[in-house]
């Protein structure tokens, strides 16, 4: 299938080429999909996109007019595409529902440990040959309470690691996963989770009900020395309220792999630019905030998985089949989570609308 691959970088291109072999014609561009760059896909059957690409209604209209009938998302999250509009146009959309949840869970743990054990400061002091330990005291994870918001694939992988450290894990999720219950994870309300946890890690998708799930009111519930980790989607946390909570010492610190306004910022070279986003600059300057640029997925195993699933989807479409990973309009950003639930084959409970 002739496919234009947007937002392709040196780190993911070889994995896609290897998975595709000679079955598909893949043309790569580092550029993001926008209303302007949509024209590059003229003459192609499909496009493959990532999280920073703009798949809003006007862009989909333009792609459709140019003949695009298939969109392969190289991500698990699909909050960046207007699925309803794609369905109206008859454009088929598939995502990568699973690709090493360990990559993201382990990155969350890496950030937590880096902040807790002050490894960045320790390295700087080491290079300065300042071997005093006065500023480097951390805490044991063992014996602490860890709150996991969203016990899907990544949340459970993160919880397992925390259990391995000897922490008690609490969870909040409208759907209780059998796997989590079997691990001894206790489901509580979001309020109880936030009031009692020393560490809170966000692993739910971004949708209408989870936007700003953590805002001023929720930060007030949290322990003043607690650490919040967000490797999910930036807008699940209200950035302004997070900054206020950090400044007012309502919480102890934040580890962020995602940022509310990361589009146009992350995944790009801005070395010669003056960044204007005051909130981002404020967060980046805080001693108790650690930010990475949406890199939690970046392991060889995850990239292999993303490429294999994306190419499998193209294989299916080329042969005239439905991809098992196709998304439907009712899975869109506006979905209502108060709906019926079914189990997936891996026995983690998933939502079905």
Give the binding site for ligand NAD (CB under 6 A). Answer: 76-77, 101, 104, 149-155, 172-175, 203-206, 209-210, 231-233, 257-258, 294, 296-297, 337, 351
Q: What span, in angstroms and rounded, lies between the C-alpha atoms of 93 and 74?
A: 11
- Minimum distance, C-beta of residue 101 to ligand NAD, in the bound complex (Å): 6
In sequence order, the β-bridge partners of residue 201 are 148, 229
Nearest approach, Cβ of residue 96 and ligand NAD (Å) = 9
Catalytic positions, written as ranges: 233, 262, 294
Sign of CA pseudo-dihedral 200, 201, 207, 211: positive
Cβ-count burial 172-189 (b if 16+ within 10 Å, e if not): bbebebebbeeeebebbe
Task: Count other C-beta atoms under 10 Å from residue 346's C-beta.
Answer: 11
In the structure encoding, which two tokens stand for residue 337, read together?
A: 């989570």
Give the DSSP per-residue string, 59-116.
Answer: HHHHHHHTT--EEEESSS--TTB-HHHHHHHT-EEE----S-HHHHHHHHHHHHHHHH
As a whole number of angstroms, the distance between CA 231 and CA 256 comes to 6
- Decide whether 174 or 240 has the Cβ nearer to ligand NAD: 174
Residue pair 193/219 in contact by the 8 Å Cβ criterion:
no
For ligand NAD, the closer of residues 5 and 194 by Cβ is 194
- Closer residue to ligand NAD, CB minimum distance, 61 or 192: 192
Quick one: 217 or 249, whose CB is closer to ligand NAD?
217
Q: Rounded CA gap, 324 and 240, in Å?
A: 39
CB atoms within 10 A of CB 202: 26
CB of 322 to ligand NAD, least distance (A): 20
Give dist(CA 293, CA 267) in Å, integer. 7
54 vs 257, which CB is nearer to ligand NAD? 257
Residue for token pair 């008859």:
90
Report the nearest approach of ligand NAD to the CB of residue 234 (Å). 10
CA distance 128 to 131: 8
Beta-strand runs (E) in the chain:
2-5, 25-28, 46-49, 70-73, 92-94, 145-149, 168-172, 186-187, 199-202, 227-230, 253-256, 289-291, 341-343, 349-351
Judged by beta carbon, residue 45 or residue 257, the one nearer ligand NAD is 257
């Amino acid at each position: 299938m002739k496919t234009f691959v947007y937002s392709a970088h040196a780190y993911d291109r070889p994995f896609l080429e290897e998975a595709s072999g000679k079955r598909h014609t893949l043309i790569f561009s580092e550029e993001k999909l926008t209303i302007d760059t949509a024209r590059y896909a003229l003459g192609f059957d499909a496009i493959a996109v990532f999280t920073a690409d703009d798949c809003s209604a006007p862009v989909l209209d333009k792609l459709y007019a140019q003949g695009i009938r298939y969109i392969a998302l190289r991500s698990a999250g699909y909050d960046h595409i207007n699925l309803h509009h794609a369905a109206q146009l008859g454009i088929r959309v598939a995502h990568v529902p699973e690709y090493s949840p360990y990559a993201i869970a382990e990155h969350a743990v890496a950030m937590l440990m880096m902040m807790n054990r002050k490894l960045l400061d320790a390295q700087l002091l080491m290079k300065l040959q300042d071997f005093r330990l006065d500023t480097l005291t951390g805490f044991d994870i063992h014996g602490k309470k860890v709150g996991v918001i969203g016990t899907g694939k990544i949340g459970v992988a993160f919880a397992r690691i925390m259990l391995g450290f000897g922490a008690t894990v609490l969870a909040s999720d409208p759907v209780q996963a059998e796997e989590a219950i079997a691990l001894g994870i206790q489901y509580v309300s979001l309020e109880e989770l936030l009031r009692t946890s020393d560490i809170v890690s966000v692993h739910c998708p971004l949708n209408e009900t989870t936007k700003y799930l953590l805002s001023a009111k929720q930060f007030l519930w949290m322990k003043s020395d607690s650490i919040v980790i967000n490797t999910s989607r930036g807008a699940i946390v209200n950035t302004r309220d997070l900054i206020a909570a950090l400044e007012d010492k309502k919480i102890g610190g934040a580890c962020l792999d995602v940022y509310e306004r990361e589009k146009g910022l992350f995944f790009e070279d801005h070395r010669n630019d003056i960044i204007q986003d005051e909130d981002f600059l404020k967060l980046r300057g805080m001693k108790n905030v650690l930010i990475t640029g949406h890199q939690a997925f970046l392991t060889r195993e995850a990239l292999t998985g993303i490429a294999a699933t994306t190419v499998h989807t193209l294989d299916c479409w080329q042969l005239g089949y439905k991809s098992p990973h196709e998304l439907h309009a009712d899975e869109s950003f506006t979905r209502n989570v108060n709906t019926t639930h079914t189990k997936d084959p891996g026995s983690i409970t998933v939502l079905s609308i």
